[in-house]
Amino acid sequence: MSSALAASQAGAQYLWFLSRSSGVVLLVLLSVVIVLGVATRLGSAPRWLARFAVAELHRTLSLFAVVLLVLHVVTAVLDPYVTIGWAATVLPFASPYRTLAIGLGTLAVDLAGAVLVTSLVRARLGYRAWRSVHWLAYLAWPAAFAHSLTAGGDLRIWWVALAECGCAALVASAIIVRLLTRRAPGQPPAAQPQPKRQMAARW
């Protein structure tokens, strides 16, 4: 019995650690995705990096963030020390445990999900409609950030606090640049990745 109990407690601690650590990494990743999205929109990129590569990196990291998000949500729900419930993963403020904090996280998930789904059907949806929904990413990030601040007591850990402050500064800087910078009239958006045959045809 004692060994079974010890194993159960160890498993619970593992779930707690995995949930917390994946949440911090996810916030950092979402912050980088926001910055890359702004860079893609403005058509800016380092000299050593092609513009279409920035857009491709933005997409790739966004998909990786989805995988990390699933891990974060599943481990949080399975954690036996808290009662969140599966319904709270899609219905904001339905969790009996820290209703506001978990609700903000669920709201961020729903907004990010809308961005993801519309991005997958962008060709059928149309650019204007896709772009309108894509602006929800700017609302999903502050909801996720507020969730990370209120869901646990991890801010007492110095590297978590440093990550939170760094993410806030990074995203705030990107949004300020986005608001202050405007493309010249008639200037096309950033270059998008092209099939290899099309690129070869140019040469």
Tens-digit pLDDT profile for residues 127-142: 888 888 888 888 999 9
Please give the residue that has the higher pLDDT: either 96 or 41: 96
The residue-averaged pLDDT of 33-39 equals: 89
Q: What is the token pair recorded at 181?
A: 């910078």
E strands, 4-146, in order: none
The residue-averaged pLDDT of 59-76 equals: 91
Exposed/middle/buried for residue 6 (C-beta within 10 Å: 0-12, 13-18, 19+)? exposed
Q: Model's pTM, two decimal places?
A: 0.79
Cα-Cα-Cα-Cα dihedral sign, residues 133, 135, 140, 143:
negative
pLDDT on residue 52: 75
Q: How many residues does the chain have?
A: 203
pLDDT on residue 49: 67
Q: What is the token pair recorded at 178?
A: 């986005």
**pLDDT digit string, tens, across residues 151-190:** 877 778 888 899 999 999 999 998 898 888 865 444 444 4
| pLDDT > 60? residue 201 | no
pLDDT on residue 196: 44
Please give the residue that has the higher pLDDT: either 47 or 67: 67
Say which amino acid occupies 179. L
The residue-averaged pLDDT of 61-85 equals: 90
Position 46 confidence tier, pLDDT thresholds 50, 70, 90: low
| d(C-alpha 185, C-alpha 170), whole Å | 28
If you search the block for the tokens 């599943």, which residue do you land on?
74
| d(C-alpha 166, C-alpha 173), whole Å | 11
Report the range of poorest mean pLDDT among 79-83, 88-92, 101-105, 160-164.
Answer: 79-83
Percentage of the chain exceeding pLDDT 70: 80
| pLDDT > 90? residue 14 | no
Average pLDDT, the chain: 80
